[in-house]
Structure 1
Amino acid sequence: MRDGGAEDDDPRVAALLAHLAVREAPFAISGRDDLAGLDLGHAALTARLDPQAPPRWWARDPGGLDLAQADLADARLEETDLSGANLRRASLAGALARSAGFAGACLEEADFAGADLSGARFIGIAGGQASFREAMIEDADFSGATMRFARLDKALLDGARFEGADLWGTDFSGADADDSVFRKARLDEANLSDCNLTGADFSGASLKKARLVGSRLRGANFSDARLDGADLSGADFSRTSLVRLDLTGCRLRHARFAGAWLEGVRLTVDQLGGAVGEEIAGEYEAAQASYLALERNLQSIGSPEGASWAYKRGRRMGRRHAGLRAREALSTRDFRGTVSYGYRWIADRFVEWLCDYGESLSRIARAFLVGILLFAAAYGATGGLFHEGANTPTYNPLDLVSYSALNMMTANPPEIGVKPLGRVTNLLVGLQGAAGIVLMGLFGFVLGNRLRR
């Protein structure tokens, strides 16, 4: 074996190895602005070794070039192969290392902050506590990497692959990671808050006690993922398919579900903090869609009370949206729109007061009571109720309320010794009878729904 380069070797490799043979850590690499394209990987350097006396530039563990504590800040390393290298505590901050190879390297506590690592290969690295803060890592491959407590906060990770990686406690906060792949990765206690994870693949991943607060998870894949104890507060699941997941141990306060497909997802109303994120943001139309998705899901898991809550909240969002559009139409002098949306708001508000959108028996009973008292007052105001044989109307509150109550709950005018006289009074009697029939029918409908549940 040989420990020097042959004549056809890149002279830059020979110069670098000679420099490393006499260096003392920590040290700066000379000529680091001219290292692009060098083959410094495990396979190439193994051919230079003397097995009896390995040179100082060789690291037995992990088996490659020894660059521990080296200063490679701002180095040019495009397409450079450093597979198997020992870069423990090395500084590569700001390095230009597009499509570089680091497979199998030791990067523990190494600093890649602000580096351009687009398309780089980090397969199987040991990168515990390494820093990739604000680095550009699009389409990089970290498959099988071990990166516990590494920092990738505010990094650009679009299309990066972390399949099967151990990312326990890793900080991804604020990262942009569209279409990134975390399939079967271990992300327990990782921080993915405020991340853009649109289209990310978490299938089969473990996210126990992970933080995804405020993250954008639109279209993400969570099939077979484990989310026990994860904090999903304010997360955006728009257009995301969530099927047969157990989220009962997660925090879902003000999460967003507009356009999401939820089926068989175990969760409770209490986890939502009283409202979905769209409602908190005043996006009432989207909030209505979010509550619709929740309603269907809660029905699918056998939670009728939860489904009823989601249905009512969704109807209220429709009313608020109509009110908002009515005000907008009024401000632009769109009177047709004002009338149209205004009518919808008034109609929905009345239905809410009357029966809470068909979900409340107590509100219907209240409407009965209010109707009885209002019509009793109307009979007294018109002076149209007379005792049989009397020439003067009765204003006795007991007579008025009794007649009003019985007329409200029977199909025919009551026979209690009090008769209506006059066109106005008879018209009131007919109107009250019709109102009573409607309310009785509505009461039966809501009661039937409740009994079926």
Structure 2
Amino acid sequence: MSEKIILDQQFEYLSQQSQGWPSEVNEFENCMFSNCNFKEADFSTLKFYECRFENCDLSLAKVEQTIFQQVQFEGCKLSGVLFDSCHPFALEISFADSKLDHSSFYALKMSKANFLNCSLRGVDFTGAQLKDARFTGSDLWEAKFDHTLLQKADFSGAIHYQINPEQNQIKGAVFSRDGLEGLLSIYQIKIVS
């Protein structure tokens, strides 16, 4: 099967079912997707290099063996996306002001990943390698960290996280004073101000 590539294009107000969707294409390079509805879309085996998604809905999108390299999501809905099914080679994605509730990054290697001002409620980070990742200003209510590498990760301004320091590697990580309860809750102690 030959590769069909789209370079340097902008797509607006598009869905995978609409006439403007390039259905025969399997690779996108340096493309911009804005205000697109990709809810429950099937992106399996597609390749995205240096692409940007703005204000798009990708909730429950299928990303089986999808390649994401240097891809940015800003102001997007990505709830329920199983990123752990992506192609792991050179995976590099960043998120800002996005909603990723109940998504999964299970066992992924994502050093220096950005999750800036995101809703990460119920997200599974079990076994993920997130060294130098940034969770600044994000809501991590019921996010699961278990045997997760979080060395030098930045949780400043993050809220609602619960991270067991005995089951996760947090050496050099940054936490706000307000968030210390999320590190100490396993010890069932009371913190007063």
Name the CA distance, whole Å, in 2 between partners of 1:216 and 1:205: 18
1:293 maps to 185
The answer to whether the aligner puts 1:126 opposite 2:67 as a matched pair is no
1:151 corresponds to 2:72: yes
Residues 233 and 255 of structure 1 are in contact (CA less than 8 Å); yes or no, is this contact kept in structure 2?
Answer: no
Aligned twin of 1:349: none
Which residue is 1:111 aligned to? 32
Q: Which runs of no fewer than 5 residues in structure 2 stay unpaired?
A: none
Distance in structure 1 (CA, Å) of the matches to 2:169 and 2:28 = 36
The whole-number CA distance in structure 2 between the counterparts of 1:102 and 1:235 is 39
Q: Is the 8 A contact 2:148 2:169 kept in 1?
A: no
Aligned-partner Cα distance in 2 for 1:253–1:206: 21
Note the residue ranges of structure 1 that are not aligned, 5 or more in a row.
1-41, 43-59, 67-85, 263-291, 298-309, 318-453
What is the Cα deviation at residue 124 of structure 1?
Answer: 3.1
In structure 2, relative to structure 1, the CA distance for the partners of 1:103 and 1:244 (3 Å cut) is farther
Partner of 1:193: 116
- Rounded Cα–Cα distance in structure 2 between residues aligned with 1:125 and 1:224: 30
Against the structure 1 CA distance between its residues 92 and 196, is the aligned structure 2 distance closer, same or farther, given a 3 Å change threshold? same
Q: d(CA) in 1 for partners of 2:25 and 2:126? A: 25
Instruction: Indicate how the Cα distance of structure 1 residues 102 and 208 shifts in structure 2: closer, same or farther if over 3 A, else same.
Output: farther
Shift, 1:127, TM fit: 1.0
Q: 1:98–1:119: 8 Å Cα contact kept in structure 2?
A: no
State the shift of 1:102 in Å.
Answer: 7.1
More strand per residue: 1 or 2? 2
Paired residue for 2:58, among 134, 137, 151?
137
**Offset of residue 171 of structure 1:** 2.3
Identify which of 153, 162, 168 aligns with 1:245: 168
Root-mean-square deviation (CA), in Å? 2.9
Cα distance in 2 for residues equivalent to 1:163 and 1:101: 26
More helix, by proportion: 1
Cα 1:101–1:236, aligned 2, differ >3 Å: closer, same or farther? farther
Q: CA deviation at 1:146?
A: 2.5
Aligned residue number for residue 9 of structure 2? 90
TM-score between the two structures when normalised by the length of structure 2: 0.82
Please say if 1:184 is aligned against 2:103. no
Structure of greater Rg? 1
The alpha carbon displacement at 1:164 in A equals: 4.4
Post-superposition CA distance 1:52-74 (Å, at most 9, x none): xxxxxxxx3x2xxx4xxxxxxxx
Shift >4 Å, 4+ stretches: 98-104, 166-169
Q: Please tell me whether the aligned partners of residues 232 and 255 of structure 1 are also in contact (alpha carbons under 8 angstroms).
A: no
**Conservation of the 8 A alpha-carbon contact between 1:104 and 1:122:** no
Q: How many residues align?
A: 188
The 5 Å alignment of 1:21-100 reads 60=2, 62=3, 66=4, 86-97=5-16
Change (3 A) 1:233 1:241: closer
8 Å Cα contact 1:188-1:206 kept in structure 2 = yes
Matches within 5 A, 1:403-442: none
CA 1:87–1:154: 2 relative to 1, 3 Å: same
- Structure 1: which amino acid aligns with 2:139? R
Identity level (%): 22
Task: Answer yes or no: is the 8 Å Cα contact 1:158–1:180 preserved in 2.
Answer: yes
